A = this chain, B = another copy of it.
Amino acid sequence: MASKNGLQLARQAMALQMERGFDKQLSKVRIISGGGGKCVAELKIEKEHQNRGGTLHGGLVATLVDTITSIALMTSEKQVLGTSVDLSVSFMKAVKDGEEIVMNAETVKAGKTLAFLKLDIRNKVTGDMVATGTHTVYIK
């Protein structure tokens, strides 16, 4: 599924996202692969990603669900970003300072007006599931 062109497309989309605004918070996210409606990304957790307790902030997890699944959709045949309708996240395990996460985003279904996307986040070293999220978007 993932291809060189898909990776370029994903990286371009991510770069455009981060040019301005809130997505600057994701500037350290690395897009590893992309294409065919999928996208893999990684991030090392630093202070700027953490909550008061010193672990990965739930709001950042939700932001990753939003943005990384949108990048995945951008690499599908639709090549659109969509407008968020519903987003949900389940938080399974804390991620500490210095730990790395791997994110797998997937376009579960892209219909005429709605697309259903999902993201799994795992600890890169242990493989433990950190969080899962779903993102439903409206395609203009």
Q: Is there a chain B Cβ closer than 8 Å to A3's Cβ?
A: no
On chain B, the residues within 8 Å of A114 by CB distance are: 85, 138
Q: By the criterion CB–CB under 8 Å, are A57 and B63 in contact?
A: yes
**B88 contacts A84, CB within 8 Å?**
no
Cβ B88 vs Cβ A57 within 8 A: no
Contact of A134 among B23, B49, B66, B88 (CB under 8 A): B88
A33 nearest CB across to chain B (Å) = 22
Q: What is the distance, in angstroms, from A57's C-beta to the closest C-beta of chain B?
A: 4
Most buried by B among A20, A90, A134: A90
> Scoring A residues 70 to 96 as 1 if CB is less than 8 Å from chain B, else 0, what string do you get?
000000000001011111111111100
Decide: B58 and A84 in contact? CB cutoff 8 A. yes
Given A47-B21, A114-B85, answer yes or no on A62-B52 (Cβ-Cβ < 8 Å): no
Q: Are A90 and B81 in contact (CB under 8 A)?
A: no
User: Is A51 close to B, CB under 8 A?
Assistant: yes
Q: Are A63 and B52 in contact (CB under 8 A)?
A: no
A16 proximal to B (CB < 8 A):
yes
Which one, B53, B54, B118, contacts A132 given CB within 8 A? Answer: B118
**What residues of chain A have their CB less than 8 Å away from a CB belonging to chain B?**
16-17, 19-25, 47-54, 57-60, 62-67, 81, 83-94, 108-109, 111, 113-114, 116, 118, 128-129, 132, 134, 136, 138
